[in-house]
Amino acid sequence: ETGVTQSPTHLIKTRGQQVTLRCSSQSGHNTVSWYQQALGQGPQFIFQYYREEENGRGNFPPRFSGLQFPNYSSELNVNALELDDSALYLCASSSVRTSGGYEQYFGPGTRLTVT
């Protein structure tokens, strides 16, 4: 069973540019969530995708957008990058447990630096 993978591992961009981060969910999972983790803080929820539709969104501006593909992989796109977007971006895929709870499995993250 393949775990959650993310690419690239590290990325350096300039303020104002656009970036695309990619995530492949764990085998059999159909829900992907994206989180932003600034240094020294806990991750913050960006949005979730379920069957190619956005299923919930955190307190992030519209320049943060996403896609989910038929194979349940996902992209996070950020336009007009700002210095504060520098963070570790984490992707998580969900396993629906028999009791109805959702255990989240996280990927290794993409470290984005905006200069």
Partner 1 sequence: KQEVTQIPAALSVPEGENLVLNCSFTDSAIYNLQWFRQDPGKGLTSLLLIQSSQREQTSGRLNASLDKSSGRSTLYIAASQPGDSATYLCAVFNDYKLSFGAGTTVTVRA
Q: Which residues bind partner 1 (CB under 8 A)?
A: 6, 33, 35, 40-45, 48, 55-56, 58, 88, 90, 92, 97, 99-109, 111
Rank residues 27 and 41 by Cβ distance to partner 1 and give the closer one: 41
DSSP β-bridge partners for residue 60: none
User: Minimal distance in Å, beta carbon 26 to partner 1?
Assistant: 12
Are the CB atoms for 47 and 23 separated by under 8 Å?
Answer: no
Rank residues 20 and 104 by Cβ distance to partner 1 and give the closer one: 104
Distance of CA 13 to the CA centre of its chain: 17
User: Minimal distance in Å, beta carbon 99 to partner 1?
Assistant: 6
Q: Tokens in use for 5?
A: 């993978």
CB-facing half-sphere around the CA of 56: CA atoms within 13 A: 9
Rank residues 18 and 99 by Cβ distance to partner 1 and give the closer one: 99
